[in-house]
Amino acid sequence: MKIGIILTYSDSETVWNALRFANTAILEDHSVKIFLLGQGVEIENIRSERFNVKEQLEKFSQLNGTMLACGTCIKSRDMQFEVCPISTMKDMLKLVVESDRVLTF
């Protein structure tokens, strides 16, 4: 199954759970694409001892998951961004159209 995830929050527990779900899906032979939108583009800056987002993010990368980020959201925050390719609403639309299921966190 092709699973699309739109990640719109930056709180550590929500992001950690979204990434754990994505990693589990990949390990079960599903294809996963994540689109970071709004606060979701702040994923690099999340620090939590309780919810290790960095570890799950590294695992997602090692499993060859695909991640895209909203360029306008990054620009509006004056951020330096290195996690994944900067993308557009057309890319998010493509993710939605091509996915069998779309989840929003």
Give pTM, 2 decimals. Answer: 0.94
- pLDDT of residue 49 exceeding 90, the answer is yes
Q: How far is CA 56 from CA 23, 25, 41, in A?
A: 8, 13, 16
Please report the sign of the dihedral spanned by the C-alpha atoms of residue 11, residue 100, residue 32, residue 75. negative
69 neighbors 86 (Cβ within 8 angstroms): yes
Answer yes or no: is pLDDT of 83 > 90: no
DSSP state of 100: S
Beta bridge partners of 7: 36
pLDDT confidence band for 82 (50 / 70 / 90): confident
Per-domain boundaries in the chain:
2-104
Q: Give domain 2-104's CATH architecture.
A: 3-Layer(aba) Sandwich (3.40)
- pLDDT at site 80: 84
For 2-32, the pLDDT digits (tens) are 999 999 999 999 999 999 999 999 999 999 9
Mean pLDDT, rounded, for 35-57: 97
